[in-house]
Structure 1
């Protein structure tokens, strides 16, 4: 019996610490996003990387999710979008609160040409993490594919509210405004 308790103690501590881990993660993200608004352009990529690490880190309770994420990421890297989408769908079904599961599937759906499905998943990401500049950038790409130039500009402007230094958002807005004005790109 004592041996079972010794084995179960780390699991119990993890379950009890779950809310504290989530609160710590939220506090870290808040601090990083505050810094992102005033960071020097040369320091912006490092801050983005720290944010992405926190977004990717799975702090939920389903032990299958990390393996499913790995399977989906590996499949996506090999352009096996069918397997990747199935893996990310399984992540979402296992833990619908995990925003990055939705974001990964949105990416795969975009790559497969399912733009409406991608937008639906982006909406789910943003419902869970409204500051997700990656999802907003993806929304901009989706709007471009649909020919919604103003919608794409709006998405990239939302990115700049979160990350004023993001060069790709600035470039896309400039390019899209020229397109909107009828200028050649």
Structure 2
């Protein structure tokens, strides 16, 4: 589902930009495109929030040594993906900014399609990060739940052993 949404975003943005160019070409002037490159600001803000979530995940107690080892490997992989997404977003923003400052004529539909593709790629990666945040929170919640159930089980066993000894 997420892949389909990302593909839809990548393919629909050029069409949307082409339609905007066809109706009102002034929308895609250099000032407007420079503002669109600001989507990376949102992307980086979400990435920093996600890094904070990863720190919270790495501090989770109650894991076995094998689970902790798997967690460390998984977090390293996630951090690499986050930096990859940030790099792609930054590259798209720079390319949009270069496109806007290059002074290409607004009469070309290719100009609108290129801006749309770059914006669509940025948005498609922006869609990934909330899912990653949800996954990390789900992991933390699952470990806390397992920990609380183990404590309740231990308390129940302790209470039963106290009753049987009396």
TM norm structure 2: 0.28
Structure having the higher helix fraction is: 2
TM norm structure 1: 0.26
In our comparison, the structure showing a higher alpha carbon Rg is: 2
Task: For CA contacts below 8 A with separation 6 or more, give which structure has more relative contact order.
Answer: 2
